[in-house]
Amino acid sequence: MKTTGHRARRAAGLSLLELLVAMTVMAVGLLGILALHGSSIGAARRAQRLARAEALADARLEELGALDVPALEAAAGQVETRTEGTLGARLVHRIEHPPGAPDDLRLVTVEVSLGPPAEAARAVRQRLVVTEPP
């Protein structure tokens, strides 16, 4: 049996409607991939900023832990601003005597905010420091 005319053309290719549906499905898929790519870049930037803030907090805590008693007490409550690459860093130091702790112990807290205030990465580090020999 021979197909003629309209049926032969239909079997040879895609109709315009089928082509439009296929292009729409492909466009929706590509838009989804682009959205995922954009959010993954943002997550990577946030993770990098947080790692830098944690490294700054650890380094500053080491610096404060090496100070003698008068210098450590003088550092209490200081707010320091640094430039870290293109980001601004805000470091806050708190030195306090924990309730019920021996007189020679101090709790040193370093809080770091890195980046613009609305999306800043924050890291907090604490350490007990012996301020005077027993």
The string of pLDDT tens digits covering residues 45-104 is: 888 888 888 888 888 888 887 877 777 777 777 777 776 666 778 888 888 878 888 877
DSSP-H helix ranges across the chain:
6-12, 16-65, 69-74
The string of pLDDT tens digits covering residues 19-56 is: 899 999 999 999 999 999 988 998 898 888 888 888 88
Q: Which distant-in-sequence residues (6+ apart) come within 8 Å of 91 by Cβ?
A: 56, 57, 60, 79, 80, 81, 82, 110, 111, 112
Task: Give the pTM.
Answer: 0.65
CA 41 – CA 60 distance, rounded (Å): 29
CA 57 – CA 80 distance, rounded (Å): 12
